[in-house]
């Protein structure tokens, strides 16, 4: 099995790791119905429909796959321009960013249309793992010049 055929399985423990994870998750679709903040467990979990950039290359056929992502050590979660009641909302993930704050970190999931999920963490610990079978998608995400990818 070629490396690009293997399911993604990553763990981010610092800002550098988070940068790698952000590259793998760029252009993922996040259904709001598949996002949960579990304050009693100090976890924020979601399922993303991840575009498989590692398989894209110059191909004409592209793939997406489900990816479970969990942020651990979460002490707060805030939403910007996201109505939690809109369970049919699909967020287009552009990138992840992290900044150190007193006593921890803020990790932001930056989405299209100026939508943001802001997580306050005691420390960075994020796991991401593909599951299930990939499915074909006809379009490769495109970005305006000067934007990622």
The pLDDT, as a whole number, for residue 5 is 72
pTM: 0.91
The pLDDT, as a whole number, for residue 125 is 98
CB crowding 36-55: b at 16 or more within 10 Å, else e: ebeeeeebbbbbbbbbbbee
CB 135 within 8 A of CB 64: yes
Is 29 within the bounds of a domain? Answer: yes
Is 69 within the bounds of a domain? Answer: yes
Where does the pLDDT of residue 113 fall: very low under 50, low under 70, confident under 90, or very high at 90 and above?
very high
Residue 1 has pLDDT above 70, yes or no: no
Q: Across-strand partners of 130?
A: 67
Domains contained in the chain, number: 1
Is 89 within the bounds of a domain? Answer: yes
CB neighbour list of residue 61: distance below 8 Å, 6 or more residues apart: 136
Q: Is 115 buried (19+), middle (13-18) or exposed (0-12) by CB count in 10 A?
A: buried
Is 142 within the bounds of a domain? Answer: no
Domain ranges, residue 97: 7-137
Residue 122 has pLDDT above 70, yes or no: yes
The pLDDT, as a whole number, for residue 55 is 83
The pLDDT, as a whole number, for residue 139 is 83
Residue 147 has pLDDT above 60, yes or no: no
pLDDT digits (tens, 9 = 90+) for 8-25: 999 999 999 999 999 999
Is 143 within the bounds of a domain? Answer: no
Residue 72 and residue 16: Cα distance in Å, rounded?
A: 17
Structure-block tokens of residue 146: 């000067």
The pLDDT, as a whole number, for residue 145 is 55
Is 39 within the bounds of a domain? Answer: yes
Where does the pLDDT of residue 56 fall: very low under 50, low under 70, confident under 90, or very high at 90 and above?
confident
pLDDT digits (tens, 9 = 90+) for 82-104: 999 999 999 999 999 999 999 99
Mean pLDDT score across all residues of the chain: 92
Is 113 within the bounds of a domain? Answer: yes
Residue 120 has pLDDT above 70, yes or no: yes
The pLDDT, as a whole number, for residue 37 is 98
Is 40 within the bounds of a domain? Answer: yes
């Amino acid at each position: 099995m070629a490396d690009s055929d293997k399911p993604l399985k990553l763990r981010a423990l610092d800002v550098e790791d988070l940068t790698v994870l952000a590259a793998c998750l760029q252009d993922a679709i996040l259904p709001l119905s598949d996002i949960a903040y579990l304050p009693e467990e100090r976890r924020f979990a979601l399922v993303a429909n991840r575009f498989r950039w590692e398989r894209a290359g110059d191909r004409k056929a592209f793939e997406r796959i489900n990816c479970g992502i969990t942020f651990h050590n979460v002490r707060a979660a805030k939403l910007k321009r996201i109505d939690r009641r809109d369970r049919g909302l699909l967020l287009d993930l552009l990138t992840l960013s992290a900044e150190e704050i007193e006593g921890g970190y803020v990790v932001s999931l930056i989405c299209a249309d100026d939508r943001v999920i802001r997580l306050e963490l005691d420390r960075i610990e994020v796991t991401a793992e593909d599951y299930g079978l990939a499915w074909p998608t006809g379009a490769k995400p495109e970005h305006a010049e000067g934007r990622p990818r």
